[in-house]
Amino acid sequence: MRGPPSWYLKKSAWSKCRRAVLRPPRNAARSLSLNPLCRLTTAFILGSVCALPPRLPQASDWPTPPSSRICTLDQVLDGDSMRLTCKGKSVEVRLHCIDAPEYEQIPWGKQSRHHLRKITPRKVELKTIEIDQFGRTLGEVYTTEPSRRFLNLEQVVGGHAAVYEHYCSDPAFTRAQRKARKAGLGIWSKPGAQQTPWVFRHRKGS
């Protein structure tokens, strides 16, 4: 009687080898050493696994805040920051691209905060840029009415804040500041440290 066909023997040998690699018996080392097909298969599997590159961290591994959300105003802290409630969570927001006079820079700090209070409605739209080193949300704040006003920019238009050029690349802000400065509005009405709040803070800190 004829034996099993060659394709069956090959298939059977492959099955035994696969079982030996995936579920090795006690004498697996001996079985693999005696079977050339198993040696070749094992080398291929181990080589493929070792050749896989390590998984690098992906951006999706870290949670990111929503880029845009409707929030309720709680408090205007000064001319370039406010506290909002977004979906029940309190969020301290630093307005992107601008730097307002410090509160002790009288009367500029008070005037800047008063103007931001005046133009900020109860409901606003917050667009998150990033989270800064102090845990504050660096963002853009817009009104929600159909005319949609950009509050960061309006602080500059009225001369109530300077453009923080080191962190801002939006040409709309530099154009608005140029016009406010030429018209002598707000902080541009007379020379002084109110025009460069970042320098004032640095000197105060030192």
Could you tell me the CA-to-CA distances from 157 to 49, 161, 187, 203 in Å, in that order?
61, 8, 11, 27
Active-site residue flag, 122:
no
Catalytic residue among 94, 113, 140, 154: 94
If one counts every other C-beta atom within 10 angstroms of the C-beta of residue 115, the result is: 20
Catalytic residue among 83, 92, 125, 136: 136
Catalytic residue among 102, 113, 140, 154: 102
Active-site residue flag, 102:
yes
Token output for 53 = 């590159």
Does residue 172 contact residue 80 with C-beta atoms inside 8 Å?
no
User: Positive or negative CA dihedral for 64, 69, 72, 75?
Assistant: positive
Active-site residue flag, 136:
yes
**Phi/psi of residue 170, each to 5°?**
-80, 115
Q: Which residues are catalytic?
A: 94, 102, 136
